[in-house]
Amino acid sequence: MSSTFMPLFSLKTLGFGDDASLMSAVITGIVNVVCTAVSIYSADRFGRRILFLEGGIQMIICQIFVAVMIAINFGTNGVGNMSGGTANFVLFLICGYVAAFAWSWGPMGWLVPSEICPLEIRSAGQAINVSVNMFFTFLIGQFFLTMLCHLKFGLFLFFAAFCVVMTIFIYLFLPETKNVPIEEMNTVWKAHWFWGKYIPDNAVIGGQNIEGGDCVK
């Protein structure tokens, strides 16, 4: 889910006036840019997995808290209002979500797919990544407001559930790719507890076929 959807729909509908809504959108945009720069510094310093995991947990927390605040103030019928302090707190939560996305799933979602595929299929793998990303961004853009009208605060819980699945997937299935040359990625996959069973020994650098079909590393 793009980091822009949450601020765009909510700032004006959650108690902000026209001017305040515009200013809040500017604030979230600045947070997005600054925190994307944070990922440039931290990706090679701390690794990809830690950014994915920290960002995922932070997004989950922000989504849940926003859902709770909307449920308290608007209920299930969507009628109500927020005080200035409450609206500012919601803006803080939205900025927290945008920041988490901007230094984790935003840039890492483009970086990691380009690192994990062998050279032979790298271009095809990245093409699939871009296509899937754009396709689901299109779907969210088309159905977001409809889902908001029907689910109301539950929409945030809906996306929080996806963040939970994404974060668990990273924890279980994505190996660290920091400082790993693309030529050695098969070695990383081979050492993984799950993916290793799908990587043939002769695909790993240092392995070679000998007579009898054995592999020596």
* pLDDT tens series, the chain, 217 aa: 455 455 545 565 555 666 666 777 788 889 999 999 999 999 999 999 999 999 999 999 999 999 999 899 888 877 777 777 888 898 899 999 999 999 999 999 999 999 998 888 889 999 999 999 999 999 988 998 888 888 888 999 999 999 999 999 999 999 999 999 988 898 999 999 999 999 888 888 765 543 344 443 4
For helices 105-116 and 84-103, the axis angle rounded to 10 degrees is: 10
* Continuous segment of H or E residues that includes residue 208: strand 208-209
Q: What does the pLDDT read at residue 203? A: 81
Q: What does the pLDDT read at residue 216? A: 39
Alpha-carbon separation of residue 38 from 43, 89, 130 (angstroms): 8, 23, 23
Answer whether 78's CB lies under 8 Å from 70's CB: no
Say whether 215 sits in a helix, a strand or coil.
strand
Q: What does the pLDDT read at residue 18? A: 61
Answer whether 182's CB lies under 8 Å from 165's CB: no
Q: What does the pLDDT read at residue 12? A: 59
SS (H, E, C) 183-205: HHHHHHHHHCCCHHHHCCHHHCC
Q: What is the DSSP letter of 4?
A: T
Q: What does the pLDDT read at residue 210? A: 35
* Continuous segment of H or E residues that includes residue 216: strand 215-216
Whole-structure pTM value? 0.85
Answer whether 193's CB lies under 8 Å from 83's CB: no
Sequence letter at residue 35: C
